[in-house]
């Protein structure tokens, strides 16, 4: 279960992501395309090409 607090930022990617890349590929998208550090505490939401699935990337500090 994700606990989203009022001070967290929620970033939703507009372009579809390639889910075959796994978590490392999503982290690379955060850094290169979105120009954000995934370790800063933001919540990133990605969807696949057919818009049938989503993945949420969040670092909780542990």
Domain assignment present for 4: no
Per residue in 32-55, pLDDT (tens digit) is 988 889 888 889 999 999 999 999
Per residue in 16-29, pLDDT (tens digit) is 999 998 899 999 99
Give residue 22's domain range: 10-58
Flag whether pLDDT at 1 surpasses 70.
Answer: no
Domain assignment present for 3: no
What's the number of domains the chain is made of? 1
pLDDT range class, residue 6, cuts 50, 70, 90: confident
Q: Where are the beta strands (DSSP E) in the chain?
A: 10-12, 43-47, 54-58
pTM of the model: 0.83
Domain assignment present for 1: no
Domain assignment present for 5: no
Domain assignment present for 20: yes
Domain assignment present for 29: yes
Considering Cα of 14, then 19, then 20, then 21, what sign does the dihedral take? positive
Domain assignment present for 2: no
């Amino acid at each position: 279960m994700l606990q989203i607090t009022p001070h967290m930022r929620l970033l939703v990617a507009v372009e579809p992501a390639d889910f075959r890349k796994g978590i490392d590929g999503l982290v690379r998208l955060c850094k290169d395309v979105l120009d954000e550090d995934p370790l800063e505490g933001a919540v990133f939401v990605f969807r696949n090409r057919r818009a049938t699935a989503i993945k949420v990337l969040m670092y909780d500090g542990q």
